[in-house]
């Protein structure tokens, strides 16, 4: 291994469009921005520094943490392109497979699940591993990524058992209870070609007609759905945010708002996430580098919300 870190100092970018340039539908791209700036001159636009680099340069210099999806399953090369930490080489718990894995960096624990080919039943190998991994986590933040979104009313309908052969429903009904029990903060998905961001929610495992105000943990400070506060550390059922970021390469022609979502739109762009200690900031940037959506989640010692918890 080189002397440089295999993960970045700060930034996590979940970019389906960038992954598509190497024949994948989406990936978690962890950027070593400092190294890129040494090799390329950035262009400043709307307060952001942008780099234009070739695909080959990216592959040689940046680590990818891929999420296995339906288009990847159609290509034989996925597991030849990537060498993934099935034996907990980067932290987390050994999964024994490259289909799903976890890793740690700084105060963040990342989990990548396989919603395409792996068994999604509650007693499956993947979910047993997931529970073990979550139990062992000691990091302040937890971010989970998988392809099929548990909530979406875009290209795909998360209410439909027929859509993607029930994969969206399976992930919502079987996986989400574990994620929320063990205090996951942010869940990222693709598949639907739009951008959708949820409220800070908890315990919604049915279809969209069953979603109620009781499952919204917080509307954020002053009810603006922009700045949320959670207890510091790992807190069970303290609220998770769900984001569908599937519009980096293209958008589709229809998108209706799922009631769990506070923000839904059809505009190409990328989600950029920064974590500075106890504050996570997310920004959705369009193709012109304009911030279309922005939110923060802050963790505070001793914080208690008015959320009543899961109820029938």
Of 22-36, 125-139, 217-231, the one with minimum mean pLDDT is 22-36
Say what the pLDDT of residue 181 is. 97
Residue 116 domain-assigned? yes
Helical spans, DSSP H, in the chain: 16-20, 33-39, 55-61, 78-81, 125-136, 167-170, 176-181
C-alpha 21/C-alpha 38 separation (Å) is 23
Say what the pLDDT of residue 44 is. 81
**How sure is the predictor about 112, in pLDDT bands with cuts at 50, 70 and 90?**
very high
| pLDDT of 23 strictly over 50 | no
Residue 259 domain-assigned? yes
Average pLDDT of span 137-145: 96
pLDDT digits (tens, 9 = 90+) for 34-59: 445 555 677 787 777 776 767 677 66
Average pLDDT of span 145-156: 96
Structure-token pair, residue 277: 């200690």
Q: What angle do CA 164, 165, 167 make, to 5 degrees?
A: 70
Residue 17 domain-assigned? no
Average pLDDT of span 192-207: 96
Residue 129 domain-assigned? yes
Average pLDDT of span 95-112: 95
Give percent of the chain above pLDDT 90. 63
Residue 27 domain-assigned? no
How many distinct structural domains can be found in the chain?
1
The CATH number of whichever domain residue 246 belongs to comes to 3.60.21.10
Higher-confidence position of 187 and 69:
187
| pLDDT of 206 strictly over 80 | yes
**How sure is the predictor about 229, in pLDDT bands with cuts at 50, 70 and 90?**
very high
Say what the pLDDT of residue 16 is. 44
Say what the pLDDT of residue 177 is. 98
pTM of the model: 0.83
Say what the pLDDT of residue 39 is. 58
Average pLDDT of span 56-66: 73
| pLDDT of 201 strictly over 70 | yes
| pLDDT of 165 strictly over 60 | yes
C-alpha 267/C-alpha 260 separation (Å) is 20
Average pLDDT of span 224-231: 97
| pLDDT of 1 strictly over 80 | no
Residue 143 domain-assigned? yes
Coil, strand or helix: which one is 211?
A: coil
Q: What angle do CA 108, 111, 116 make, to 5 degrees?
A: 160
C-alpha 102/C-alpha 112 separation (Å) is 6
Say what the pLDDT of residue 6 is. 37
Identify whether the C-beta of residue 296 lies closer than 8 Å to the C-beta of residue 228: yes
| Domain extent for 127 | 81-300
Say what the pLDDT of residue 43 is. 78
Average pLDDT of span 214-237: 96
Higher-confidence position of 23 and 302:
302
Backbone angles phi, psi at 270, to 5 degrees: -135, 145
Residue 233 domain-assigned? yes
| pLDDT of 122 strictly over 90 | yes
Residue 120 domain-assigned? yes
């Amino acid at each position: 291994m080189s002397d440089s870190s295999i993960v970045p100092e700060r930034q996590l970018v979940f970019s389906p469009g960038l992954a598509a340039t190497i024949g994948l539908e989406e990936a978690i791209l962890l950027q070593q921005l400092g190294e890129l700036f040494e090799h390329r001159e950035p262009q400043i636009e709307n307060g952001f520094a942008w780099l234009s680099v070739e695909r080959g340069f990216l592959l040689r210099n940046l680590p990818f943490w891929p999420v296995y999806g339906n288009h990847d399953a159609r290509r034989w090369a996925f597991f030849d392109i990537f060498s993934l930490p099935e034996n907990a080489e980067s932290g987390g718990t050994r999964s024994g497979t490259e289909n799903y894995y976890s890793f740690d960096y700084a105060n963040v624990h990342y989990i990548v699940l396989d919603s395409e080919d792996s068994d999604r039943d509650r007693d499956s190998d993947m979910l047993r591993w997931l529970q073990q991994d979550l139990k062992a986590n000691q990091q302040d933040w937890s971010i989970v990524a998988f392809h099929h979104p548990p909530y979406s009313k875009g290209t795909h309908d998360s209410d439909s058992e027929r859509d993607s052969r029930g994969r969206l429903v399976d992930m919502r009904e079987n996986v989400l209870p574990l994620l929320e029990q063990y205090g996951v903060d942010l869940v990222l998905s693709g598949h639907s070609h739009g951008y959708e961001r949820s409220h800070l929610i908890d315990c919604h495992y049915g279809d969209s007609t069953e979603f109620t105000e009781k499952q919204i943990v917080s509307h954020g400070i002053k009810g603006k759905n922009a700045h949320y506060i959670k207890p510091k550390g790992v807190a069970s059922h303290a609220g998770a945010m769900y984001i569908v970021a599937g519009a980096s390469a293209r958008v589709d022609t229809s998108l209706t708002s799922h009631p769990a979502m506070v923000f839904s739109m059809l505009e190409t762009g990328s989600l950029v996430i920064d974590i500075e200690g106890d504050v996570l900031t997310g920004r959705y940037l369009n193709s012109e580098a304009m911030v279309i959506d922005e939110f923060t989640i802050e963790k505070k010692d001793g914080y208690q919300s008015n959320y009543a918890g899961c109820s029938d």
